[in-house]
Amino acid sequence: MEEIKVYMVKGTALFNESSFPTKQKFTKFVRALNEKQAMEYVYTYFGSKNKIKRHNIKIEEIKEVSPEEIADRSIKDIAELDKII
């Protein structure tokens, strides 16, 4: 069984494509088994929350981070858990 790791995904996305297109940078902390799964989560997250198409999301960097480097409080709390009941 693989261990779940925390990845930091950086990139840019095109928001408001139809009315007033705005390209914005993002940094998202993701719990995943590997880099491919982390990238897929970012695509689905921005697609469902902001209706952004995959071709409008450019991922520039994916790297594994240690628990001390995590900026997102909810991800950090989940990463520190030993087990979920």
Q: Tell me: the pLDDT tens digits for 46-79?
A: 999 988 999 999 999 999 999 889 998 999 898 8
Dist. CA 54–CA 32, nearest whole Å:
19
37 falls within a domain: yes
Tokens (6 digits) for 45: 């997250």
Whether the Cβ atoms of residue 22 and residue 16 lie closer than 8 Å to each other: yes
Whether the Cβ atoms of residue 43 and residue 26 lie closer than 8 Å to each other: no
Give the Cβ contact number of residue 75 at 10 Å: 19
For residue 24, what are the domain limits? 5-80
40 falls within a domain: yes
85 falls within a domain: no
Whether the Cβ atoms of residue 30 and residue 52 lie closer than 8 Å to each other: no
What pTM, to 2 d.p., does this model score? Answer: 0.86
CATH number at residue 24: 3.10.20.10
Average pLDDT, whole number, for the chain? 91
Give percent of the chain above pLDDT 70. 99
**How much is the pLDDT for 6?**
95
Domain count, the chain: 1
